[in-house]
Structure 1
Amino acid sequence: MKKILMFIGIFAVTLLLTACGNKEKLNLYIPNEYIDSSLVKAFEKEHNVRVKIITFNSNEVALGQVKANKYDIVVPSDYAIEELAKEGLLEELNGREFFEEGFEFAPGLEVFFEQLNEDGFDFLKYSVPYFWGSLGVLYNNNKITLDRMEKDGYKVIADQSLETIIYDSSRDAIMVGLLANGKMLHDENRDEATLKADLKKAEEWLVSAKGPKTSILSDEILTDMLSGTKYDAAITYSGDAAYIMSENENYSFYIPENTNVFADGFVIPKNSQNKELAKKFIEFMSTYEASLDNTIEIGYTSVRNDVYTEMTKADGDFSEPRLKYAYETKVSLFQIFRYDQKLKELIDQAWQRVSVS
């Protein structure tokens, strides 16, 4: 009898594994901790499919992997999307068509897309917007005042008496170094010699800003800063800042002028093995219900105006002034990273030298 029961059990498990193996599979390549897993499970159940989540910790890593491997959906940032599109690696998508009739983008996002388009890249031609935000400084409000942040901005990171974090991103870090010297990341009127000189000054500033209390981190801040005050100031993305502040009242966020504003989006590589299922997943994640649940869980600014309004209303999840400030992503003057192969190489080289100094 035991042998019969064992055989039945093994047979049932075999059938289950066979059934799972026969399901359609979707390979999703996305930044770490950047999607509500319960939504993925809901999509799997609704469509009787399996979604395999593969994660990355930087756009630079993602670019190399996308060029070398096959994924059905990828979620890079604007400049990485531009690079992949210019290399002919992406399917063309009408980003607006994945939302229902009457849909509106969150305030300020249309301006972002218009500026990007005017500069020569149509984000919505290749991508469906996912989250967006800005770069700023998350600071210990028990130790650093808003007045000081307004005065120093990113330069507060150079204070050797503070425990600080420089975010481990070549573009973001070098941009901060440039801004500390009154320079912009992109400047059409700058020749190559001047560009190299500006990048050298940015590099030197970052090296001098690094002290015994300075760390170079990325996703680790999501755990290291959730409680207590281990760090005094950190260069941080607005969505990460909103999430941390929702858990830790000791921190506030400041967005310096001329900082980076970014948008991440769903793209479908041309070598995707399941493009129709990929489109269904993107449509599912772009609905009001999924977008709301996702932004509550992750903390980044929704691209949907209705979700944005819900989150920031008087009794919304991000109605508290500290959180609302980060979630609103309002920057009067802002920079957009663009794909520029020569600039990219120079930035990466400069950041490598800073990292090992």
Structure 2
Amino acid sequence: MKKLFMMISLLLVTVILNGCTTNQKLLILNWGEYINEDLVILFEETYNVEVSISIADSNELFYSKIKSGTTAFDLVLPSDYMIEKMKREGLIQKIDFTKLSHYDRIDNPYMKGLEGIMSTMTEGSDEYFVPYFWGTFGLMYNRRITGLETALETHGWQAYFNPDLRPTNRVGMYDVAQYAYAAALLSHNLDPNGLPDDIQEGQTKTNITLAKETLVAANFQVFADDALKKDIQANNLDLAFVWTGDFLDMLYVDLDEGMAYDEKLYDIYIPENTMAFMDAFVIPTKARNTDLAHLFIDFFLDPANAYENASVVGYSTPLYNTYLEITTYEGDDEWLNNWSRAYLDYYPDSETFRGTPYASFEQSVMAQLNLMLNDVKTT
């Protein structure tokens, strides 16, 4: 994605921070390609510290690394359900909001979609995190396939899971058991977070049996992760369940390289009943540099920095004022106009909450889902 020219003017200030020396290092555990590296460098130069970012590719890996305590990370960016699990197990500490000069829910509020996700979390959870990015899941599809867009608009989830309702069999599923399970239940208008052995109203089969049968019948050709969005972009796949931000990540790259917004070769269909997520900053209980961790969080809450960070990450900013800055752009910069259109099209700030966050399942439940998905892949 195009990196926007940084228009950040910094005041020279004296930062009083215990132990903040040239030898101090902030250890962060993050997802891959999920931060503006220029901002990280700016933070290092501004506060004369070193930032070391390690990568994890799943919430479960975030959990295992924090649980083991082998590395005393100062900041971690897990998703909503994992935040609640870490909170329950005492693995993260409360945020000291008095240390965040840019935290202001009135003058610097969150977007409505994010508020919707937060409203589903247990009371008191918001004392342990500061939102970083959020978004929905959808069905990314290849517009080069005649009839596919119409099939999705007509049949929704059924066009994804029923081969008879779509004009292609080049279809993929995200290779995460809980994602596949939830999507299958959504296609039946059922609670995507229902327990595997439960039978929901109007059904005669358990959730896990129904999900397995639905996934097998879909006849997915590919189970993958980031390869899904790349294969659709490259015309090697036609349809897949992905994060909306993954689709936008590909779109921004192509727009930057000259593709016209109205002539994009792929798109994403976001069903009314879909999944949503929020990733957020949390501070592990064993963190060594909590003051520096708060300073880093506050740095990314600065509206100017939040704007720059959103400019290189395909997911939605949590901050409403930053969203407005993006979506109300009026000028001759074609890329900024495209960016504004994409936000309005795929991240509308609607009063109607769109999406269900994943539940925090117990390990025994996750084991059931993993076994189910393995059976599907070998059937």
TM-score by length of 2: 0.79
Match of 1:5 in 2: none
Match of 1:136 in 2: 138
Match of 1:300 in 2: 315
- Structure 1 residue 203 corresponds to structure 2 residue 203: no
Match of 1:246 in 2: 252
Give runs of aligned pairs for residues 185-264 of structure 1, distance below 5 A.
185-187=192-194, 192-194=197-199, 197-211=206-220, 214-221=221-228, 223-225=230-232, 227-248=233-254, 249-264=264-279
- Percent identity (aligned): 26
Match of 1:105 in 2: 110
Q: Secondary structure at the match of 2:287?
A: coil
8 Å CA contact 1:166–1:235 kept in 2: the answer is: yes
- Structure 1 residue 125 corresponds to structure 2 residue 127: yes
- Which is worse superposed, 131-140 or 310-319? 310-319
What is the CA-CA distance between 1:268 and the residue it aligns to? 0.4
Match of 2:9 in 1: none
Distance 2:208 2:223 in 1: 19
Distance 2:47 2:240 in 1: 41
Q: In structure 2, what residue type is equivalent to 1:68?
A: S
8 Å CA contact 1:138–1:251 kept in 2: the answer is: yes
The alignment yields a C-alpha RMSD, in angstroms, of 2.6
Q: In structure 2, what residue type is equivalent to 1:151?
A: T
What is the CA-CA distance between 1:344 and the residue it aligns to? 3.4
Distance 2:114 2:96 in 1: 16
Q: Please state which structure has a larger fraction of its residues in helix.
A: 1
Distance 1:207 1:329 in 2: 36
Q: In structure 1, what residue type is equivalent to 2:347?
A: Y
Distance 1:355 1:86 in 2: 33
Distance 1:100 1:85 in 2: 21
Distance 2:310 2:110 in 1: 15
8 Å CA contact 1:163–1:233 kept in 2: the answer is: yes
Deviations 1:122-145 (A, max 9, x none): 442110000000010111123245
Q: In structure 1, what residue type is equivalent to 2:244?
A: S
- Structure 1 residue 177 corresponds to structure 2 residue 184: yes
Match of 1:285 in 2: 300
8 Å CA contact 1:181–1:202 kept in 2: the answer is: no
Closer, same or farther in 2 for the Cα pair 1:130/1:48, shift >3 Å? same
Where structure 2 has 5 or more consecutive residues not aligned to the other structure, the ranges are 1-20, 255-263, 331-335
8 Å CA contact 1:245–1:323 kept in 2: the answer is: no
- Which is worse superposed, 166-175 or 310-319? 310-319
Partner residue of 1:326 out of 343, 346, 357: 346
Equivalent pairs, count: 329
Distance 2:130 2:273 in 1: 25
What is the CA-CA distance between 1:328 and the residue it aligns to? 2.9
Distance 1:305 1:317 in 2: 18
What is the CA-CA distance between 1:246 and the residue it aligns to? 2.5
Distance 2:53 2:365 in 1: 32
Deviations 1:297-352 (A, max 9, x none): 01110001111112222544555655532233756553222223154343333233
8 Å CA contact 1:96–1:124 kept in 2: the answer is: no
8 Å CA contact 1:149–1:254 kept in 2: the answer is: yes
Q: Secondary structure at the match of 2:235?
A: coil
Match of 2:16 in 1: none
Distance 1:125 1:186 in 2: 24
- Structure 1 residue 114 corresponds to structure 2 residue 119: yes
Q: Secondary structure at the match of 1:184?
A: coil
8 Å CA contact 2:328–2:340 kept in 1: the answer is: no
TM-score by length of 1: 0.83
Closer, same or farther in 2 for the Cα pair 1:114/1:179, shift >3 Å? closer
Closer, same or farther in 2 for the Cα pair 1:343/1:97, shift >3 Å? farther
Distance 1:193 1:222 in 2: 33
